[in-house]
Amino acid sequence: MTAFNTVRFRVKPGRDQDFLDAHKNIGTAWPGLVHANIIKTGDHAYCIIAEWHDIDACVKARPDMIATLNSFRETLEDLGNGLGVTDPVAGPVVLSLK
């Protein structure tokens, strides 16, 4: 069953392009990835939404996702409330709408 993950980020001022550039090769770096989009949710605020073949593919790709994160971690601001620099969630699709 298809799965998705989403991760929320806040980028340091002046580092937006560095953040975006770091994601340009995820299609080949994250096995099992079907499709991904980065959306801008505010000033220096972004969210990546990724579709996976299934939750096992998403889980298996976590080391690769962390390696990608480590390549641009210095571009991120702490989100506060003990979250650190990311706010990730993932899970299988339980209801598919249009």
What is the pTM (predicted TM-score) of this model? 0.90
Going from N- to C-terminal start, the domains of the chain cover: 3-78
Q: Are strands 33-42 and 87-92 parallel, antiparallel or unpaired?
A: unpaired
pLDDT of residue 70: 95
Q: What is the architecture of the domain spanning 3-78?
A: 2-Layer Sandwich (3.30)
Per-residue pLDDT 10s for the chain (98 aa) are 899 999 999 999 999 999 999 999 888 889 999 999 999 999 999 999 999 999 999 999 999 999 999 999 999 999 999 999 999 999 999 999 98
φ/ψ (deg, to 5) at 94: -110, -15
The answer to whether the CB of 51 falls within 8 A of the CB of 33 is yes
